[in-house]
Amino acid sequence: MAVVEWRVERSGVPGALAAQTRLRAPYRILRAVFGDDGDFRGATGTKTSTSWFLKKRGSTTLVFLHDRQEADNRKFSLDAFRARQSYDWHVTGKDDACLKDFCTWLSREVIRRVEAEPQPKKLTARSKEKVNALIAQGKSVADAMKLAAEWEIIAPAAQAYKWPIAAETRDS
C-alpha cells in the first residue's frame, strides 16, 4: 500500500489560492485515498457538493479539490453525482508547482487503484463474428462464448486518469 502524501485538513481555510487545474478521477477512489467522504463545505457555498482541503505531509502546502455544480439545479442528486464513472475535479492551490506536485501524485494513485480493480472488457470484433457464427450454427450463447470469446479492455486507466487531462476531453 502506498503512503498517503496528502491528508484531509480541517483546521482552516488557506489564503489566496491563485493557480487552478482539473484532475479526472472517480469519487469512490478519492474517498478511498483520503479516507473521508468529502463533505467539507468551503467558501464556495452551494455550488460545491463534494470537497477536500488537503495538506501535504510535513508541509504547509494546501490544495482545495472540489466539484462545481449549478447552484439552482433542482435535479442534482449527490448520490448520482458520486456514482459517476469519473469527474473532472477542480483543483486550486497557491501556484502551478504546488498543483503539479499534488496532481502528479494523485493521478498516479488513482491509476494504481483503478488498475487494481477488475477492468471493464468487451468482445473483440473478430470474436463477435465467431460467436455469432457459432450461434447461427445452433450453439447456445454460453457454449459459443466458451469456444470463441476473446476479450479486450475497454479503456485503460492510465489513459483515462493521467494528468494533465486533455482540454478536449474535459467535463464542463
Q: What is the pLDDT of residue 146?
A: 92
Residue 1 maps to a domain: no
29 within some domain: yes
* pLDDT the model gives residue 160: 83
Does 106 lie in the same domain as 163? Answer: yes
Residues 112 and 127 in one domain: no
Q: How far is CA 145 from the centre of its chain?
A: 32
Same domain, residue pair 18 and 44: yes
* Nearest-angstrom CA–CA distance, 147 and 162: 36
Residue 21, strand partner residues: 91
Please indicate, yes or no, whether residues 126 and 55 belong to a single structural domain of this protein.
Answer: no
- Residue ranges with strand state E in 11-116: 19-25, 51-56, 62-66, 87-93
**What residues make up the domain containing 147?**
121-151
Co-location of 132 and 48 in the same domain: no
Which of the residues in the chain have pLDDT under 50? 1-3, 42-44, 168
Examine residue 162 and state whether it is found in any structural domain, yes or no.
yes
82 belongs to a structural domain: yes
pLDDT at 2: 44
96 and 39 together in one domain: yes
Are 52 and 96 in a shared domain?
yes
Q: Are residues 127 and 48 in the same domain?
A: no
Verify that 87 and 100 share a domain, yes or no. yes
* Residue 3 pLDDT: 47
Q: Provide the domain count of the chain.
A: 2
Query: Do residues 58 and 133 both lie within one domain?
Result: no
- In this prediction, residue 58 carries a pLDDT of 84
Name the 3-class secondary structure at 78: helix
Domain membership of residue 74 (yes or no) is yes
Asked if 39 and 53 sit in the same domain, the reply is yes
pLDDT attached to residue 62: 85
Whether 42 maps to a domain, the answer reads yes
Same-domain check for residues 95 and 136: no
At position 121, the amino acid (one-letter code) is K
